[in-house]
Amino acid sequence: MSIGDELGAIAVRGDTALTIGVFDGVHRGHTHLISQLLDEASSNGLLAGVVTFREHPAAVLSPSFQAQYLTSFQERLDLLNETNIDLAVPITFDRALADLSAEEFISLLQEHLRMVSLVVGPDFAMGRKREGTIERLSKLGVEMGFTLKVVDGLKEASGETVRSTTVRAALSEGDVQRVADLLGRRFTLEGSVVSGEGRGGGIGIPTANMAPPHEMAVPGDGIYAAFVHLDDHRLKAAVSIGNNPTFGGQHRTIEPFILDFDGSLYGETLRLEFVRRLRDQVKFDSVETLLEQINRDVADTRKILESAPPC
């Protein structure tokens, strides 16, 4: 399906103010931009719409790029719709779209989505080889009859702009509390339960071996206190992420030990809601020493999650 066909399938009942991007994570920087989009639309009697790419453009333009998404595509759409926009417009980013000039892409947005206003961040660029810079878009706005509103990025107290790359960096360091502040909610990760080595059960600490999609971002190695969402249940868990150094593991695993739970989870889908990082992954001298630390981790997890505020 061509970009024109995708856009043409969207029912638009009025003129629109649009913003464009991947919006991976739908973090506070994104919601800041969207709040300005909503203001622009409200002030001018327009519908507010977000055009989002199904694929990360870098994955199409660079074969070596490995996507590490903060949210699944469906979660991204759900989060965008929670911002009170009128339209969330998913489109496929492929070579054909990448080869369009900024003028050609805007023409399609005007034709199919009735765009009369474009709201973007200061570093935004669009079109073939990113030729549609802010300066170029300003000129195109005059020529093609749309307004351009440039919104300054949301900054942290440190002065750093909130971006998806900022969130990923904090996540790779295991700083899930900072990630929650950047996102405006706790980071979650969903995956199915698959067969593991069975070591946990052998030492009396049965864990679920969780396998999220390979393209999803995962917190850095360590032990975490997290809630586990299973169907309609919200359970407490101590989560190990790493290669099990005490047992000489070769593969990175995600293993939640669910507190006060007894039952089989194979084939189930779990969603982890990370609350706090407890410690690094450590190689212990013996299984007994490991068990002593696990018991401390479980006690710390229980205390943290019992007092954790809703998020």
Q: How far is CA 86 from the centre of its chain?
A: 21
Active-site residue flag, 255: yes
How many residues does this entry show for the chain?
A: 311
Q: Are 209 and 265 in contact (CB under 8 A)?
A: no
Q: Which amino acid does the sequence have at 212?
A: P
Q: Which listed residue (111, 160, 173, 255) is catalytic? A: 255
What gap in Å lies between CA 4 and CA 229, rounded to an integer? 39
What gap in Å lies between CA 80 and CA 50, rounded to an integer? 8
What gap in Å lies between CA 296 and CA 278, rounded to an integer? 10
Q: E strand or H helix at 306, and its extent?
A: helix 287-306
Q: How far is CA 53 from the centre of its chain?
A: 13
Distances (CA, A) of 218 to 84, 223, 272: 29, 13, 11
Look-up: residue for tokens 């440039």?
150
What gap in Å lies between CA 73 and CA 23, rounded to an integer? 10
With H, G, I as helix, E, B as strand and everything else as coil, classify residue 272: strand
What gap in Å lies between CA 270 and CA 208, rounded to an integer? 9
What gap in Å lies between CA 75 and CA 80, rounded to an integer? 8
What gap in Å lies between CA 244 and CA 252, rounded to an integer? 8
Look-up: residue for tokens 């973007």?
120
What gap in Å lies between CA 152 and CA 267, rounded to an integer? 45
| Residues with active-site annotation | 255
